[in-house]
Copies of this chain bind each other. A is one copy, B any other.
Amino acid sequence: MKLGRVVGTVVSTIKSSGLNSYKLLLVSPLDLAAGNISSENGEVFVAIDLAGAGEDEIVLVSSGGAARVSAGTSDVPTDAAIVAVVDNVQIGERNAYSKG
């Protein structure tokens, strides 16, 4: 799973019906730099929200078939789903991130 930050929302009227009941969030991938969670140059992507994630929160995103497992149905045409809101990232004895 990828660590990402929710940076926005995407609205679409014309879409596959299987996406209808999901919120589409824009996610920016994160990385570690000098032991801290930091922005990364990776491309933003769009995921359905299965965890009630809010803007600026750090989340876990599952890709591929796993995104449909978490939706609880294989009929959702997505390849990415937010499956968790991250509370804490611990690196050794040190707290690299805590949800504010």
Cross-chain contact B60 with A69 (CB below 8 angstroms): no
Interface residues of A in 57-75 (CB under 8 A from B): 60, 62-70, 74-75
Q: Does A16 contact B (CB under 8 A)?
A: yes
Protomer copies: 5
Note all chain B residues with C-beta closer than 8 A to A75: 69
CB distance from A98 to the nearest CB of B (A): 9
A interface residue count range (under 10 / 10 to 19 / 20 to 34 / 35 or more): 35 or more
Cross-chain contact B91 with A26 (CB below 8 angstroms): yes
Query: Which residues on A are within 8 Å of B, measured CB to CB?
Result: 1-3, 7-16, 18-19, 24, 26, 28-29, 31-32, 40, 42-47, 50-52, 55, 60, 62-70, 74-81, 83-92, 96
